[in-house]
Structure 1
Amino acid sequence: MNKFINFLSYKKISFISLPVLLALYFSLIINFPVLSELNAILSKLDSVKLGFIISIPVFFFAAFNFIFNLFSWPYLSRPIFTLLLIVSSMVSYAMYNYGVIFDYGMIENIFETDTSEATSYLSNYSVFWTMVMGVLPALFLWKVKIKNDKGAVHFIVMKMTSMAASLVIIAIIAFFFYKDYSSVGRNNSYLKKMIIPTHYMYSAAKYINNTYFAEPVEYQQIGLDARQSNAALATAQSKPTLFVFVLGETARAQNYELNGYDRPTNQYTRDLGLYSFQDVSSCGTATAVSVPCMYSALPKHNYDKQLANSQDNFLDIMQRAGISLLWKENDGGDKDVAKHIPKQEIDRNKQDHLCNGNTCYDMALLENFDNDVSAMKGNRMLTLHLIGSHGPTYYQRYPEDKRFFTPDCPRSDIENCSQEEIINTYDNTILYTDFVISQTIAKLKQLEDKYNTALFYISDHGESLGENGLYLHGTPYSLAPEHQTQVPMMVWFSNSFSKSKKINTDCLKHAAEKNSYSQDNIFHSMLGIMDVETEVYNSGMDIFSRCRN
């Protein structure tokens, strides 16, 4: 290695040849996931022009050469292209191995992740890929001599000539194959989002601008008239409501036994009288989108994160109405939906039977449960934010004694496990969440003499487990499979809760089995079930309203 590095030290390239080399590297190596996807698309067509196939890497090369020339300047080239090479190698890894597309939503999710979640994606394979594809080329960039020996005028003329040549090549390709590019692009619009580094750079720039430079939206309070109904206030004096909202993570509806899955993933709750809603869609395919959207009054088709963060959500309205709230966090962040209410975060740095110094099992959320409840006043809502089934380190979400489905996949580079192992590991996480829910219900049953108790569970989004070459989540919603957009939703009501809220359980059972819902319903359903009266409440969007006498 030292001999190779010393050898590079004697090599010399110009600022004109540098973009050419980088364009060649990005066209053939970094963008291999795009070329692979194009190969799969073209192989399904009845007939394809050979010239069109040959033109694709040439088109990429010309386009990249033009773009990279814009950044190939003395003192700027090395730091800019070093960052580009390393980040692009990471994007290439995720795209090729997991089918992840780095659009605005994915960039948003990356920026808002925490250290524990980020490190879960590290593996020997991912590090090796990044070293070979990103770090070594960057090392080459720093060791070779980049010079411009013939003066500034010659430098500018050669740069303009190179860029002009690129445009000519692109124009020639467009002249002969425009219809082919148009047809493939129109029928596979997601392809443009796969091109590295253009789309992820565009998405990152857009996110940074919207987050740090856009003019802030003035905060708007909504539901200023919010109050609890007289019946709810009277109940709070004698036997308060205790409602536990369990916010799941990365659970998909298709792997729930209560939804027809042929494996016993709900063996802890199947006999507890839960109502499992069979058709529920998420607002997004990533936590950063789904959670703020779910808590907001904004519907999915009109959702804007900046606007959602700049107005009250249903927690804020409940607090205004006098309901006592507490958020307990085990997933690295509440995405700002709990910024105005009391919040506890599980200390994942500790090491005990529930935590390993980096992550904690979700049973940690139930520690001090009774004390948390007793410290609240009146009618109460306690939110438990699970880490649930967050991947790719699924195996870290459940303890050894809950390792029911085997063989599982005890590693983060799940692409190197078999499909059976991945599904077993994921199903173990679903089963462990089921266990946590059953234990939460057990605690609620113990408190039934003091409170009218209820539990509501919903996941933020689903997950792909290798179907059609996709893993994890975050696929643009318009392209995402139902595995990422269909989520489990379950409710459990104690007898006293059903009675106090006048709930027709037969009606609720029918609604769960036959009706379709989405996370748009959550805002109004939570206000409704907690009997909060306000002008922003819409009974037509309340899951429970039609089943209350």
Structure 2
Amino acid sequence: MSLHDSRPLAAAVAGPDQGRSPLILTWWAALWIGLFGNWPLWQRMAGMPDFDGARGTIFIAVFAGIVIMVLGALFSLLAWRVAVKPLIAILLLMTAPLAYFIGSYGVVIDSTMITNALQTDVRETRDLLGWGLVVHLVVIALLPLLWLWRQRVRDTRWFKRLGWNLASVALALLAGVGLAATRTADMASTLRNHKVLTKMVSPVNALWATGALAVQKTRTPKGPPQVVGADAHLAPRAAGTKPPLVLLVVGETARSANFALNGYDRPTNPELSQLPVLSYREVASCGTSTAASLPCMFSHLGREVFVDHPGNQETLLDVLQRAGLAVLWLDNQSGCKGVCDRVPNAQAINPARPDHPLPAGLCGSDGECFDEAMLHDLDARIAGLDPQRAARGVVLVMHQMGSHGPAYFKRTPDERKPFKPECRSSALQQCPIDQVRNAYDNTIAYTDHVLSQAIQWLGRQEGQFDPSLLYVSDHGESLGENNLFLHGMPYALAPKFQKHVPLVMWLPPATRQSQRLDEACLKKRLDMPLSHDGLYHTVLSLSGVQTALYRKDWDWVAACRQSRIEAAAPATPQ
């Protein structure tokens, strides 16, 4: 008998190799992902005082068992011969980066974080890549995938497979409930006091958040945005007064706690501290990420209504433009999140205009520009606006790169780094915490310089306009407190550092006079609790726009506006 002829005999003796059941593969995946793909969760729980001692260790083990049972139940639905391998591969490739980002920066995954990821541009993505991510992909995803792809999968009639899969789901859920019942009190306390833990279970967190985001998108009305402020118009301007020029600088990731103007013990505001600015110390943001805060800041609704509002509405910039003002948005980041879609807008650098380069040193070889690039050639930008609108007034918005992390060191020119040594890595957890703070504080000091330069430019416009400057950051940042870095935590769970933002105003004497603002009153309000809710209404009042949308109680400066004298000079027609 030939070797070829002996194979069937060998197979008959050894028994047919029918391969592994799809359910076995899904349960191996649930065990692997539950234990290794969720290592940040187990590390977080092991470091919490609530889980000290033997009782805590037992609870962590029970919690891990429940996670594995939940994953097993979900994965059992995927246990079909054709689909099981590619679907497990997707779950592994999803879990590996989740483990890296949760473990490295302490972030949690919700619909807002998914939105941030979808809106991240190439520059931001590049900053987040590193060898740590590669290691996680290799260990958590690629190694088990090599094993998985070598496995033969047993075929079964579809109705039998469905029955086995449903039985697996039922048994997994029953086992999970049984485990939870052994630690009922501890489980209830944990879920009540540490809700963040449930958002760290991968990949359930990402799947749930993506589903929630999809549902949210379906609730958003299609078509053009709803018109708001249809009655917006310019108030008559008193004789002898100039049109307003409002420069709104939207900061990025700046936290109030690191502003020397607000009591920080490091000189992060050396230039602004020499200028007559107002720095408000108790300001709360709309959200903890740009994707959440930016649209909210430019909405008239206020945070409490906006977060649950499904509507697609016009923004503050639409209302200003409808009133007849010239509006311009300058961006040095990943876009305006829809806020500026219907008004003139431009990037700090325009690759389509090689004949109009920025001065040397303002942009790096990677295409990222420092925030000073937005100040370049501003006179020409203003001159390029509709002259009839500009004659009525201008609102200019600058969206900073600011203190965007984790690569803080990239946001400041080499000659503007007063705090050294600084962390030169995006893997913040691998740097000494004082070097992380140095790198971050350098970005605040650079923002101080940019704002000072902006005020100097505004000062040169006083012959033509009544200028004013508003600076407010979109959200704050965690710098290692409680092992958290960056931002984006759910608002209810986020530490104050991610929600407490700086607000700086510059209102020169001529502008205060035309706005009838009492300087002493403004200074008395520096410690008043404020929020992003007031931005919309403050810009309306400083730009002279009247509409039924305006809320005086939300306007940051309205309480210090004096009544107009009855014998005022006749108004100048617009």
Normalization by structure 2: what TM-score?
Answer: 0.88
1:447, distance to aligned residue in structure 2 (A) = 2.1
Structure 2 matches for 1:105-504, cutoff 5 A? Answer: 105-141=112-148, 143-149=149-155, 151-152=157-158, 155-211=161-217, 216=222, 219-231=225-237, 239-304=242-307, 307=310, 310-347=312-349, 352-356=360-364, 357-376=366-385, 377-378=390-391, 379-504=393-518
Task: Report how far residue 217 of structure 1 moved.
Answer: 7.3
CA deviations over 1:461-498 (Å, ceiling 9, x no partner): 00000000100000111111111000000011222212
The amino acid that maps onto 1:353 is G
Unaligned runs of 5+ in 1: 1-9
Structure 2 residue 95 is the aligned partner of structure 1 residue 88: yes
Aligned mates of 2:38, 2:409 — CA distance in 1:
31
Deviation of the 1:307 alpha carbon: 4.0
Q: C-alpha deviations, 1:424-470, integer Å up to 9, x for none?
A: 00000000111111111111122222221111100000000000010
Aligned partners of 1:194 and 1:539: how far apart in 2? 42
My pick for the range that moved more, 351-360 or 317-326, is: 351-360
Range moving further from structure 2, 455-464 or 193-202:
193-202
2:4 equivalent in structure 1: none
Which amino acid in the other structure matches residue 376 of structure 2?
A: E
Equivalent position amino acid for 2:294 in 1: V
> Of the candidates 519, 523, 529, which is equivalent to residue 532 of structure 2?
519
CA distance in 1, matches of 2:18, 2:257: 57
Q: CA deviation at 1:372?
A: 1.2
Change (3 A) 1:530 1:468: same
Measured on the aligned residues, the alpha-carbon RMSD in Å equals: 2.3
Cα distance in 1 for residues equivalent to 2:207 and 2:158: 29
Deviations 1:355-411, CA, capped at 9 Å, x for gaps: 223311001101111111223312111111100000001011001000110010111
2:176 aligned partner, one-letter code? I
8 A contact 1:42–1:48 mirrored in 2: no
CA distance in 2, matches of 1:225, 1:62: 58
AA matched with 1:96: G
CA contact (8 A) 1:460 1:487 kept: yes
Q: Which residue of 1 aligns with 2:568?
A: none
Residues 230, 75 of structure 1: alpha-carbon distance in 2 compared, 3 angstrom cutoff: same
1:410 and 1:224 map into 2 onto residues whose CA distance is 50
Counterpart for residue 78 of structure 1: 85
One-letter amino acid of the counterpart of residue 342, structure 1: P
- The change in CA–CA distance for 1:506 and 1:465 in structure 2 (over 3 A counts) is same
Aligned with 2:152: secondary structure?
Answer: strand
Stretch moving more, 491-500 or 36-45: 36-45
State the AA in 2 paired with 1:354.
Answer: L
Read off the aligned partner of 1:292 and give its amino acid letter. P
Q: Distance in 1 between matches of 2:525 and 2:57?
A: 55
- How far apart are residue 506 of structure 1 and its match? 1.0
Per-residue deviation, 1:34: 1.4
Q: Which moved more, 1:161-170 or 1:257-266?
A: 161-170
- 8 Å CA contact 1:331, 1:386 repeated in 2: yes
- How far off its partner does 1:128 sit? 2.4
Going from structure 1 to structure 2, the CA distance change for 1:126 and 1:185 (only over 3 Å counts) comes to same
Work out the CA distance in 1 between the residues paired with 2:332 and 2:556.
27
Give the Cα–Cα distance (whole angstroms) in 2 for the partners of residues 131 and 212 of structure 1: 36
Change (3 A) 1:302 1:47: farther
The counterpart of 1:30, out of the listed 37, 47, 60, is 37
* 2-structure distance, mates of 1:250, 1:11: 57
Is contact 1:293–1:305 with CA below 8 Å preserved after alignment?
no
Amino acid at match of 2:316: F
CA contact (8 A) 1:463 1:471 kept: yes
- Partner SS for 1:73: coil
- Partner Cα separation in structure 2 for residue 462 and residue 391 of structure 1: 11
Kindly indicate whether the alpha-carbon contact (under 8 Å) linking 2:245 and 2:543 is maintained by their aligned counterparts in 1: no
Alpha-carbon distance, 1:39 to partner: 2.2
Going from structure 1 to structure 2, the CA distance change for 1:305 and 1:288 (only over 3 Å counts) comes to farther
- Contact 1:11–1:145 (8 Å) recurs in 2: no
Distance 1:81 1:347 in 2: 43
Distance verdict in 2 for CA 1:53–1:249, change over 3 Å: closer
Question: d(CA) in 2 for partners of 1:127 and 1:107?
Answer: 21
The residue type equivalent to 2:491 in the other structure is: Y
1:313-335 CA-partner distances (Å, limit 9, x unpaired): 22111111111110000011001
For the residues of structure 2 that align with 1:54 and 1:474, how far apart are their CA atoms?
Answer: 29
Q: Counterpart in 1 of 2:555?
A: 542
Change (3 A) 1:37 1:229: same
SS in 2 for 1:278: strand
AA partner of residue 202 (structure 1): W
1:346 CA drift (Å): 2.4
The alpha-carbon distance between structure 1 residues 301 and 150, as it changes in their structure 2 partners (threshold 3 A), is: closer
Q: Deviations over 1:214-273 (max 9, x none)?
A: 6537732121111111116x56xx632211110100000000000000101000211111
Q: Structure 1 stretch 38-47 or stretch 160-169: which is displaced more? A: 38-47
Q: CA deviation at 1:62?
A: 1.7
Give me the whole-angstrom Cα distance separating, in 2, the residues matched to 1:164 and 1:540.
Answer: 56
Aligned residues: 534
One-letter amino acid matched to 2:302: P
Deviations 1:92-127 (A, max 9, x none): 111111110011111111112222112211122222
- Report the more deviating stretch, 419-428 or 525-534: 525-534
Deviation string for 1:290-327 (max 9, x for gaps)?
1110110111111147646x222221111111111100
- How far is the alpha carbon of 1:84 from its aligned partner? 1.5
Contact 1:217/1:307 (CA < 8 Å) preserved in 2?
no
1:12, CA displacement in angstroms? Answer: 5.4
Quick one: structure 1 residues 242 and 45, their matched pair in 2 at CA, closer, same or farther if it must change by over 3 Å?
same
Give the Cα–Cα distance (whole angstroms) in 2 for the partners of residues 225 and 157 of structure 1.
Answer: 63
Deviates more, 1:110-119 or 1:91-100: 110-119
